[in-house]
Amino acid sequence: MRLNTFTLAIATLAALAISSSALAQKKYDTGATDKEIKIGGISPYSGPASAYGAIGKAISAYFAKINEEGGINGRKLNFISLDDGYNPAKTVEQARKLVEEDEVLFIFNTLGTPPNSAIHKYMNGKKTPHLFVATGATKWGDPKNFPWTMGWQPNYQSESKVFAGHIMETKPNAKIAILYQNDDYGKDYLKGFEDGLGDKAKTMIVSKISYEVTDPTIDSQMVSLKGTGADTFFNITTPKFAAQAIKKAAELGWKPTHYLNSVSASVGAVMIPAGVENGVGIFTASYLKDPTDPQFQKGKEWDDWLAWMKKYQPNGDIKDANNVYGYTAAQGLVQVLKQAGDNLTRENIMKQAASLDMTLPMLLPGVNVKTGPDDFFPIEREQLAKFDGKTWVLFGKVYGR
């Protein structure tokens, strides 16, 4: 038979089709298959930081929604979330279990600075993505030395600098007392604060007292801080202790200008247990829409979030900002996985995580998520807010890059 042009054309097209499908081949690392993506998570469902367990639950609930809608690129998300009780020794154990026994593709939003510090070297040694860690310590944004670890929320040192800047502007002669958790999280906030005050740090800070996360209460520390006669208070505590501190300050009749770190700025988890009347006037920094703020309780973003809460977390606390945090972080990850497509290698996951430029529905207007090969801090912008007894009222400008 003579090879006519028609046959040749068909043959060429067929050859191209076969080769292009070879090019678009799926690539998997351990934990990813055609049907599912295994994701590991470690949260403090028990122990002194168990208020943050709500974040892990929210993430599971969001993944349930994604799975019900068909998954990502046809793959379901299998989220294996283990409890570490905020105990770094247990975190090491759970991380080993997730990576070596459950063989997850990567771990996501592991919570707490001490727990994450304990597995930092291990995850990088195992070349497994340690993604969007639920802590703002400055050390997570170090792609040169730890290319497999990426932070998520605004880093603590820049947040403290915003507070320090505000104090310098509004109360340059303040006498500041500080309560901080004695671990890398507390010390990171403290360093940023002292750097922000610069030379005046020595004269302005009259007292800094620490507590251990395993302490039952911080009452004695509060009494000592009040005794120094300070008129400004920087409260570097996790939710359980933040509530105790606010309550104790009110009981002692101490009414300083109170700055609360963003990690404990949840109305449902902190302000209500502390007594809302005791929290009036407290400053914090926000990057998420607080669910108790009436100005955000409308519009498509709110409706979506509320519908998700009602369907997938009917027993969840609508006033708890941790539910907004988990929702937003999960959305961030979904975007990374969508961008990764069928190339689900660990290297590509990190590459996609380092190429983000988007906004998410429950972030404050003006706050975005942006990463690059040298920029492992996805969220960097924050706005100051003041508690009015019901919600955090935003004011001023949006700080950050």
Partner 1 sequence: MKPLDRKWVWFWSVLLLVGLLVLPFLVKNYRVFQFNLVLVYAIAILGLNILTGFNGQISLGHGAFYAFGAYTAAILMDKLGVPYWATLPAAFVVCFCFGFLVGFPALRLAGHYLALATFALALAVPQLLKYKGIEGMTGGVQGLVLTKPEPPFSFRFLDQPLSADRWLYFFSLAVAGLMFLLAWNLLRGRVGRALIAVRDHPIAATAMGINLPVFKSMTFGVSAGITGLAGALGAIVVAFVSPDSFTVNLSIFLLVGVVVGGLASIPGAIFGGIFIQFVPNIADEISKSAPAAIYGLLLIGFMYLLPMGVMGGVYKFWMRMRTKTAG
Pick from 114, 143, 115: which is nearest to 129 by CA?
Answer: 143
Nearer of residues 100 and 357 to partner 1, judged by Cβ: 100
Among 34, 212, 251, 357, binds partner 1 (CB under 8 A): 212
Among 13, 15, 89, 358, binds partner 1 (CB under 8 A): 89
Determine if 217 is a binding residue for partner 1 (CB under 8 A): no
Determine if 122 is a binding residue for partner 1 (CB under 8 A): yes
**Shortest distance (Å) from residue 67 CB to partner 1:** 20
Instruction: Name the token pair of 363.
Output: 């972030």
Determine if 118 is a binding residue for partner 1 (CB under 8 A): yes
**Shortest distance (Å) from residue 27 CB to partner 1:** 23
| Interactions with partner 1, residue window 24-83 (CB under 8 A) | none
The region of 12-20, 205-213, 250-258, 364-372 touching partner 1 under the rule CB under 8 A is 205-213
Determine if 87 is a binding residue for partner 1 (CB under 8 A): yes
CA dihedral for 251, 237, 378, 69, sign (positive or negative): negative
- In sequence order, what DSSP letters do the residues of 60-73 get, joined into one string? HHHHHHHHHTT-BT
Determine if 145 is a binding residue for partner 1 (CB under 8 A): no
Nearer of residues 213 and 333 to partner 1, judged by Cβ: 213
Exposed, middle or buried, 260 (CB in 10 Å: 0-12/13-18/19+)?
buried
Nearer of residues 87 and 221 to partner 1, judged by Cβ: 87
Among 5, 18, 25, 101, binds partner 1 (CB under 8 A): 101
Q: How far apart are CA 106 and CA 327, in angstroms?
A: 19
The sheet carrying 130-131 orders its strands as 76-83, 36-43, 106-108, 130-131
Total site size for partner 1, rule CB under 8 A: 21
Q: How far apart are CA 111 and CA 132, in angstroms?
A: 10
Name the pairing type of β-strands 232-236 and 176-181. parallel
Task: Tell me which DSSP letter residue 32 carries.
Answer: B
Q: What residues contact residue 2 under an 8 Å CB cut-off, 6+ apart?
A: none
Nearer of residues 93 and 231 to partner 1, judged by Cβ: 93
Instruction: Name the token pair of 49.
Output: 């930081």
CA dihedral for 41, 392, 182, 212, sign (positive or negative): negative
Among 96, 255, 310, 338, binds partner 1 (CB under 8 A): 96
The amino acid occupying position 354 is A
Q: What residues contact residue 126 under an 8 Å CB cut-off, 6+ apart?
A: 99
Among 29, 183, 188, 380, binds partner 1 (CB under 8 A): 183
Among 44, 114, 129, 192, binds partner 1 (CB under 8 A): 114
Determine if 92 is a binding residue for partner 1 (CB under 8 A): yes
**Shortest distance (Å) from residue 88 CB to partner 1:** 5
Determine if 88 is a binding residue for partner 1 (CB under 8 A): yes
Nearer of residues 101 and 199 to partner 1, judged by Cβ: 101
The region of 56-64, 85-93, 155-163, 236-244 touching partner 1 under the rule CB under 8 A is 85-93
User: Counting every residue, how long is the chain?
Assistant: 401
> What stretches of 262-345 show up as alpha helix (H) in DSSP?
272-274, 300-312, 321-340
Among 97, 175, 247, 386, binds partner 1 (CB under 8 A): 97
Q: How far apart are CA 374 and CA 271, in angstroms?
A: 37
Nearer of residues 121 and 310 to partner 1, judged by Cβ: 121
> Which residues form the interface with partner 1 (CB under 8 A)?
87-89, 92, 96-97, 100-101, 114, 117-118, 120-122, 182-184, 210, 212-214
